[in-house]
A and B are shown apart, each in its own frame.
Chain A
């Protein structure tokens, strides 16, 4: 634990966390985790198309934050802004302020590589490399300079165990990562993400291809991981949000019939219990009670 954190700090160019700012306006009285992300008036554009507008929220350390909302409301877009994945989309642009541990994520001398090294991501569609299972998991550590064979063995086993995949693949670590079922492939991708010991794990509907048992395993994994990491998860499964998350953000689409534009907005953000039991906005209420979306 100690050691890995030092590792993280040593390998990244991001400055050390500065004094953290006070809880932000949207903050709610939930479990007290220190703020890790501070998002202020963030809008994301794809070329001339404004996909999400004016999102402000504070994400807390060692918590699971769930993004829910209808399709096209910008959950993935916002999630990808957290580790500068949108930089890879030609024409994509982020406006507004995003702070990670006191450092502006889109600051002038912030390296997206260093950002992604600390803020990992699991994608909606499993995307294992065309390499062996072992090499898939060892990929991140190797990229970051780990060459020691024994250490790599350890990392691979630990990551696969945590991703609840070890028992299924321990006898065929050398076989292809593509010769796995969809659910196994997704767990392999999770193992690959946590193998680099990130600080934050972003998950975009990680369980949408999984059966209930594997989903349960992933949820157990998330609860386990949040002791060490901070997790943001996009999900369409509201039971899942209530089962695992500490806070929930509800996104929706604003349709402007005059200009025929559809823009995602953050409608409500609060503790999961509050969002599901006592939603303040009628749209949130409609969504969580299943009367919409």
Chain B
């Protein structure tokens, strides 16, 4: 070691001082600032909801009904009907929107090419993303509720319409990332287009498609405005998605939070925490499921 050091000057491998180093450090600091700026409000929301909502949560709160009148304390009745309603309505909305959205994206990216129809669908999906959720509620109200009455199904339609463009867009972006070399490899052993899509393209994109679908579900589960017009509000559990008014966590938060009574306020916080927990569990479950699909990523 010593011998080497005396024979030649030691190489200086430190980061060189000067403008480049300054730029690098400024950029690093800015990124940290941005990171903290996004994390602080997120953490704040989460901490507040947990702090205010945790005391309301109990097995009874989550499963029992009916939802009591506003003036009563949180220990009476429970949010069970709203939990059931949210799961039913969002679940059915996902059942409609995810297959349609993924198939739409497959059409645009794999089959449509440069055809006018494909571009039109892509464009319409983008436009639909920009439609306010309350407008979607009104739309379902006029074309469905006026004819068939309030029901969980109408709520599912409204939420489905909100999810569809998000699923199309996110799935499309994921399909686009699948390298053509993989498609060619499949074609080269004599696969048809459908086979290429099902056995190579979709598996390669599944992780991202699931993430996108989940974000869409989570967002839809929290939507309030479209449900006010489509499912109305009830206090007891309605397990029949297809007929009769229903209720959901989001609408319950909206109604209870407006009230001055402590019980109602606590119920609203509790419902908010429940909603967040449902979204969290959903994300976790889907991650575990997709980990199975993507186990060969290395």
Is B69 an interface position by the 8 A CB rule?
no
Q: Pick the contact of B185: A114, A118, A179, A192 (CB < 8 A).
A: A192
Is B183 an interface position by the 8 A CB rule?
yes
Neighbouring A residues of B8 by C-beta, 8 Å: none
Neighbouring B residues of A129 by C-beta, 8 Å: 182, 185-186, 200, 204
Interface 9-mer from A83-91, A164-172, A257-265, A280-288: A83-91
Neighbouring B residues of A123 by C-beta, 8 Å: 181, 184-185, 188
Given A123-B184, A125-B181, also A131-B296 (CB < 8 A): yes
Given A88-B183, A90-B113, also A196-B296 (CB < 8 A): no
Q: How large is the interface on A (under 10, 10 to 19, 20 to 34, 35 or more residues)?
A: 20 to 34
Is A121 an interface position by the 8 A CB rule?
yes
Given A130-B204, A176-B296, A176-B298, also A140-B189 (CB < 8 A): yes
Interface positions of B from 179 to 217, Cβ below 8 Å from A: 179-192, 195, 199-200, 203-204
Is A189 an interface position by the 8 A CB rule?
yes
Are B114 and A90 in contact, with the CB atoms below 8 A? yes
Where chain B touches its partner, the secondary structure class is helix
Q: Taking the nearest CB of chain A, how far is it from the CB of B73, in angstroms?
A: 55
Is A117 an interface position by the 8 A CB rule?
yes
Is B24 an interface position by the 8 A CB rule?
no
Q: How far is the CA of A101 from the CA of B180 in the complex (A)?
A: 30
Q: How far is the CA of A128 from the CA of B203 in the complex (A)?
A: 13
Q: How far is the CA of A31 from the CA of B292 in the complex (A)?
A: 53
Are A113 and B297 in contact, with the CB atoms below 8 A? no
Are A143 and B298 in contact, with the CB atoms below 8 A? no
The contact string, 1 if C-beta is below 8 Å from chain B, for chain A 186-210, is: 0001001101100000000000000
Are B296 and A121 in contact, with the CB atoms below 8 A? no
Can you report 21 residue pairs joining A to B where beta carbons are below 8 Å apart?
A85-B188, A88-B180, A114-B190, A116-B187, A116-B188, A121-B184, A127-B179, A127-B182, A129-B185, A130-B203, A130-B294, A131-B203, A139-B189, A143-B186, A143-B191, A143-B195, A143-B199, A176-B298, A178-B297, A192-B189, A193-B189
| Given A127-B185, A143-B189, A176-B296, 20 more pairs with CB closer than 8 A | A85-B188, A88-B187, A113-B191, A114-B190, A116-B190, A118-B190, A120-B189, A121-B184, A123-B184, A127-B181, A127-B182, A129-B186, A130-B294, A131-B296, A139-B189, A140-B190, A144-B189, A176-B295, A178-B296, A196-B189
